[in-house]
A and B are shown apart, each in its own frame.
Chain A
Amino acid sequence: MITSEEFKKVLIEYLNLEDITPDDIEDKDALFGDDGLGLDSVDSIELVLAIEKEYGVKITDATLYETIFASVENLLTYINENRA
């Protein structure tokens, strides 16, 4: 089980989020768009590849993207549920 704290550290590291600590990220924060972490399409590649590398979880079904990437919490739940 990956904790929220650990996951936020991974996000910060792989996405090179400067001047942000895990405490600055809320579980409910959106990943994309202006009112959340503000990630864009380029970051999404990085994120998908990092999750695959770090946790062995592939996110291939594009129809799930909207739900999975809706928030930090959703993404982490998906990873925890799909880890080998």
Chain B
Amino acid sequence: MLRQLFADAFDVLQKNLDLRQQRHGVLSANIANAETPGFIAKDVQFEEALRAAVLAPTSELRRTHPQHLPHTVASLHDVQGRLVARPSDDVGRDLNSVAMDQEMAALTTNAFHYNASTELLSRLFSGLRRTISEGRS
């Protein structure tokens, strides 16, 4: 029963936190390398894959080994961040594609989404606590 009530939300939020954290690292590296000649900005893409996995009908199949054949229904556990290069036309003479404003905006948005997920997780837990104590506390 508990699993039915909360498992999906927990899994989605947990996955979201993981991927957001990974993306934060990549964005931090972009900012650190904002003036490194020839550095190409990178990003982690996962939002569409995560959305697809959430909307897909749930399946109990899970790949426990990388060489297993993939099953067609996307599972939340299989969602991985895809590291992509973010080239830009406006590289300047040092061929650096980092746009500081873009990076700071992405960093802030990413942190905001991360914080929102932690907040939702906290509320799930307090809802759970309330249920266990029969709504008394």
**Bound pair (A, B):** no
Chain A residues within CB distance 8 Å of chain B: none
Chain B residues within CB distance 8 Å of chain A: none
